[in-house]
Amino acid sequence: MFATIRRFRWQQWLLAAACVAALSLAAWQIDRAVHHLVYLRQNGAPAIAGWMTVGHVAELYHVPPGVLEEALGLPPDHVERRPLQAIARQRGESMEQLQATLLAAIARSRAAGAPTPGAAPPR
């Protein structure tokens, strides 16, 4: 009965090890993503930092980038890729002042009921 079992060749062992490694990496990435989502749900969006861009803040707070660009007085037809710290320096403001400006624009956008990017349309 067991005489028909054959042994794996080294190529088959290598393939099996590669599959185990790939599955382990995928499980680790899924675990990291779940932990990140749980953290964001419990703590909300992270604070606005100087290294972030306008687009990054727009994604984090689910507002259109144009709302933030308008609040900062940036041209609407130009995609701003500089970090917020550089924008604050150019405007002669501190990061705290720039953060307050952005948070006020976010609050106004949400109060006005502006559609959030990626949100499902109301039924």
Question: What integer pLDDT is reported at residue 8 of this predicted model?
Answer: 80
How far is the C-alpha of 104 from the C-alpha of 120, rounded, in Å? 24
How far is the C-alpha of 48 from the C-alpha of 72, rounded, in Å? 14
Question: What integer pLDDT is reported at residue 5 of this predicted model?
Answer: 60
| pTM for this prediction | 0.59
10-residue stretch averages of pLDDT, the chain, 123 residues long: 69 93 97 88 82 92 91 84 93 93 93 60 41
How far is the C-alpha of 63 from the C-alpha of 118, rounded, in Å? 10
The residues spanned by each domain of the chain are 10-43, 54-112
Question: What integer pLDDT is reported at residue 85 of this predicted model?
Answer: 95
Question: What integer pLDDT is reported at residue 121 of this predicted model?
Answer: 43
DSSP secondary structure letters along 104-115: HHHHHHHHHTPP
What SS3 state is found at 43? Answer: helix
